[in-house]
Amino acid sequence: MSAEIQTQMITVEIMGKQYQVPDGMTVISTMWYTGHQLTRGVGCLGGVCGACATVYRNKDDFALKVGLGCQMRVEDGMSFFMTPYYPAAKPNYRIEEIEHPKEELFKYFPEALNCRNCNACNKVCPQDIDIKGAVKDAVKGDFAAAADKALSCVMCGLCVSRCIAEMAPNMIALYARRTWSVFYATKHERLDMQMERIRSGYWNDEWEKIFALDEAGMKEYCKSRR
Amino acid sequence: MDPLLERYLGVIEVSRKHRMAQAVPLLRDQEKEALLAAYHPDYKKEAYRPIRFGPNAGAETVHELARLLEADSPLVAKPANLSRADYEVDVLVLGGGGSGATAALAAKDAGASVMIATKLRMGDSNTVMAEGGIQVAVKEDDSPIQHFVDAMHGGHYKNDPRLLKVLVEDGPFVVDWLDSIGVLFDRDQDGNLKVKKGGGTSRARLLACKDYTGLDMMRVLKDTVLNEPAIQIVEFAPAIELLTDPSGAVTGAVLQNLDVDQRIVVRAKSIIVATGGIGRLHIQNFPTSNHFGATGDALPLCYRVGAPLAYPGTFQYHPTGAIHPEQMAGLLVTEAIRSGGAHLVNKNGERFVNELEARDVVCAAIIRECAEGRGIDSPFGRHGVWLDIPVIDAMNGDGVVHRRYPGMVRKYGRHGIDIGKQPVLIYPTLHYQNGGVEIGVNAETRVPGLYVSGEASGGIHGTNRLMGNSLLDIIVFGRRAGKAAAERAKAVGFGELTINHLDGFHKAMTDAGVTPDAVSPMILPDYVRRPDNAGNLPG
Ligand SMILES: Cc1cc2nc3c(=O)[nH]c(=O)nc-3n(C[C@H](O)[C@H](O)[C@H](O)COP(=O)(O)OP(=O)(O)OC[C@H]3O[C@@H](n4cnc5c(N)ncnc54)[C@H](O)[C@@H]3O)c2cc1C
Ligand code: SF4
Ligand code: SF4
Ligand code: FES
């Protein structure tokens, strides 16, 4: 959408070059504003897909930081570049072939035991997830806790890039979430009941009635049931 | 504090008590019609024109889409070498979102060799962004019939009843399947599936993973696909043309490698188009909630091989898209917040519509407030009204907002806004294509070999989709498409790869006196600022 912009200009540095941009934009909109064409590094533009990992440094600060480029506001003096791809490995497992999820965790992710508590993963996580805690929960067998902690993980892989024990904490947490849901979470009687009714044609007469209606009849029927 | 908010906080807080006691009546049918006709973008005549040729000749749609439907194939300016195929598979799935992933898994389960070609990374999609939930009738007081009734009413009675019956009856089985691959839906105290109330429904039937429903579904679907070595995935390779044999059946596709200047030819026995929605066309200049790749590619691709579209002229504008602070523009404020009791408030501190009205009605009301000077301007030239979220805590107790909407709290929290305490500025955002390629109950189109599932398809939701029915339809019809496509692949051999369909297309174009002024599909929106593309802000 086009708009009249009424804010101050700031100076940012992209891969070593300086640009003037209006204050209040994200890393990605700054890239576009300064003429960069992007194919990689952009996904949802809404902070949930993890495509836009960005490495940056603030003015007069020594530390290199990372964040999601579609969510981060650029600030005056900030220097950044986007890192579109991590070639992280992932073990293959089929959920239907798993029998004992808690033991098999160590078959698929033997490195899960090697966590050295450095906390680098937690510090880097743009979703503020206690991902170190989730790995520890999974190792202890508390999959419910791991599942809960990792709900908002966008799989950006930033924790993987920092882990000194060479593990993929996000993949471990996802394994815990999936297997928790399949093997341990409570089952739903109502869902079973509903499926049984559909299978047995419980509403067939009603459907017949509905499909015999003309447009006016359909309107009347639906309105009367609401 | 944000200066804009500072200016208005007084008005909002002073009026809150009064608003809490106030009952805003639901509009009568006639009042709704009048409001929609005056302010809903779907009713704006200047925004529409007839499509001049092809299967939907004469039907009206928005200029942005008509132009792409009448545009030429990229293979005209730069032909592809069709004498050999880079890949041969039983089933080619275009689109790596929720519906594509589901279709691929279903096709593989039915014994087919499968390839997914997608525009961005696998899973970068509208699906991953869905927050509110998925509608399925699972409670005692609910039934597929009741679900059907609500969707029919919401869809203005334009839904294809056969498709809708399939949607509501497959629903519980789909939840069971998602559960079996590890999607973790919220439970209530007794361990059963927890349901929330969504806009426009007569029962509470939204299942959710807090406000990360699409994220959990997509994460699990993607992981399931990645764990299947039998499914090949090619990323950053959008389809730019379908291929046909002399009988008109679809036999393959040409993909564009976005990393290097190269085309990829795929031969397949069946093709499932699951390329999602159109938000990035920025119809009528609206901001959008959609992901970067949502440029409606299915529509011109399928139109050119002769598949008619259902309701190509109706779009859904989500009432509550963020417009301020600027770095959040376009981002959706989940509808669960509106249905959970938040107030819509104009610049005078007044409510102006019952927040539980259907989406189109709420949108029209917000647009009316702004058009009549009761909106609020953002520093980047956008305008909107307030969504008073803190009223939820005022009604239900402190901390409710933080507990129920952790995703939203985090997104605003990054920019120093605590939605438990501060209202936010919103405006309708282009959200969903209600129509799409016309399909039957197994996601088949009128073109042999061509299946369409998910947001790219049309007919299920009539002219207005209810919240939560899309996450359901992408899985229901994705599974059906995968199965049907795999069955077809068992019955037919590989076909010839041609672009003969373009002959008929070009003839119809010439007969209609049309000279195309664009090439489609669009593939990616262009936000790069240049002299000829100035001040074009995404969002
Ligand atoms: C912010 C947001 C919130 C939402 N909330 C809800 C909700 O709470 N409940 C609900 O039911 N619905 C919701 N929806 C709608 C719902 O999420 C989508 O309609 C649905 O997920 C679409 O799924 P899909 O698989 O059809 O398309 P998508 O998930 O968008 O997947 C399409 C895929 O195809 C790719 N693609 C595009 N063009 C091409 C091409 N030419 N070749 C190859 N690949 C291509 C895309 O990049 C993408 O990966 C929401 C949508 C958004 C944007
Ligand atoms: S846990 Fe790791 S992959 Fe998940 S969001 Fe945090 S940093 Fe990204
Ligand atoms: S980065 Fe790796 S080693 Fe360090 S705390 Fe996290 S999981 Fe453990
Ligand atoms: S683009 Fe998806 S998280 Fe930034």
Contact A218/B184, CB-based, under 8 Å? no
Question: CA–CA separation, A88 vs B296, rounded Å?
Answer: 31
Q: Is B318 marked active-site?
A: yes
**Tell me, what CATH number does B7's domain have?**
3.90.700.10
Minimum distance, in Å, between the CA of residue B159 and any CA atom of chain A: 11
pLDDT digits 0-9 by tens, B143-172: 999 999 999 999 999 999 999 999 999 999
The reply to whether B105 falls in a domain is: yes
- The angle at the Cα of B465, spanning B460 to B469, to the nearest 5 degrees, equals 75
Token pair recorded at residue B321 = 């898209």
Of B101-105, B233-237, B333-337, which gets the smallest average pLDDT? B333-337
Name the range with the highest mean pLDDT among A42-56, A60-74, B15-29, B91-105.
B91-105
* Same domain, residue pair A20 and A64: yes
Mean pLDDT of B286-303: 96
Question: CA–CA separation, B373 vs B414, rounded Å?
Answer: 31
Chain A, nearest residue to B409 by Cα: A127
B-chain residues within 8 Å CB-CB of A3? 380-382, 535, 537
Of B53, B126, B198, the residue nearest B433 (C-alpha): B126
Minimum distance, in Å, between the CA of residue B380 and any CA atom of chain A: 5
* Same domain, residue pair B140 and B266: yes
Last residue of a domain, one of B398, B430, B462: B430
Mean pLDDT of chain B: 94
Inform me whether the pLDDT recorded for B440 exceeds 60. Answer: yes
Confidence of residue B410 (pLDDT cuts 50, 70, 90): confident
Last residue of a domain, one of B395, B430, B465: B430
Inform me whether the pLDDT recorded for B535 exceeds 70. Answer: no
Please give the number of the atom of ligand 3 that sits closest to the Cα of A135.
Answer: 7
Q: What is the 3-state secondary structure (H, E, C) of B211-274?
A: CCHHHHHHHHHHHHHHCCCCEEEECCCCEEEEEECCCCCEEEEEEEECCCCEEEEEEEEEEEEC
Contact B411/A223, CB-based, under 8 Å? no
The reply to whether A211 falls in a domain is: no
- The structural domain count of chain B equals 2
Pocket test for ligand 4, best of A26, A70, A125, A153 (most atoms within 8 A of CB): A70
How high is the pLDDT of residue B536?
Answer: 55
- Ligand 2 contact, A170 CB (< 6 A): yes
Contact B202/A225, CB-based, under 8 Å? yes
How high is the pLDDT of residue A89?
Answer: 76
- Domain of A55, in residue numbers: 9-82
- Ligand 2 contact, A154 CB (< 6 A): yes
**C-alpha torsion sign, points B381, B382, B385, B391:** negative
Chain B, nearest residue to A129 by Cα: B410
The reply to whether A30 falls in a domain is: yes
Residue B188 CA, ligand 4 centroid: distance in Å:
31
Contact B227/A179, CB-based, under 8 Å? no
Mean pLDDT of B315-342: 88
Contact A51/B406, CB-based, under 8 Å? no
- Ligand 1 contact, B520 CB (< 6 A): no
pTM given for the model: 0.95
Q: Which of A7, A49, A129, A175 to mutate to test the interface with B (most CBs of B within 10 A)?
A: A49
Question: CA–CA separation, A157 vs A146, rounded Å?
Answer: 17
The reply to whether B509 falls in a domain is: no
Residue found under tokens 């980047």: B380
**Tell me, what CATH number does A70's domain have?**
3.10.20.30
The reply to whether B344 falls in a domain is: yes
The reply to whether B421 falls in a domain is: yes
How high is the pLDDT of residue B146?
Answer: 97
Minimum distance, in Å, between the CA of residue A93 and any CA atom of chain B: 6
Chain A, nearest residue to B289 by Cα: A46
- Domain of B369, in residue numbers: 3-39+318-430
Of B213, B236, B216, the residue nearest B224 (C-alpha): B216
Answer yes or no: are the C-beta atoms of B485 and B113 closer than 8 Å: no
| Bond before B300 cis per omega within 30 degrees | no
* Same domain, residue pair A70 and A110: no
* Same domain, residue pair A179 and A133: yes
- Ligand 4 contact, A43 CB (< 6 A): yes
**Tell me, what CATH number does A122's domain have?**
1.10.1060.10
Inform me whether the pLDDT recorded for B139 exceeds 70. Answer: yes
Of B91, B141, B142, the residue nearest B114 (C-alpha): B91
A-chain residues within 8 Å CB-CB of B160? none
- Ligand 2 contact, A159 CB (< 6 A): yes
Mean pLDDT of A43-71: 92
Q: Which of A153, A182, A211 sits opposite B180 (nearest CB)?
A: A182
Q: How many CB pairs under 8 A join A and B?
A: 232
pLDDT digits 0-9 by tens, B68-86: 999 999 999 999 999 999 9
The reply to whether A159 falls in a domain is: yes
Contact B125/A44, CB-based, under 8 Å? yes
Chain A, nearest residue to B527 by Cα: A32
* Same domain, residue pair B84 and B112: yes
How high is the pLDDT of residue A1?
Answer: 42
* Same domain, residue pair A173 and A102: yes
Inform me whether the pLDDT recorded for B336 exceeds 90. Answer: no
- The structural domain count of chain A equals 2
* Same domain, residue pair B11 and B149: no
* Same domain, residue pair B200 and B262: yes
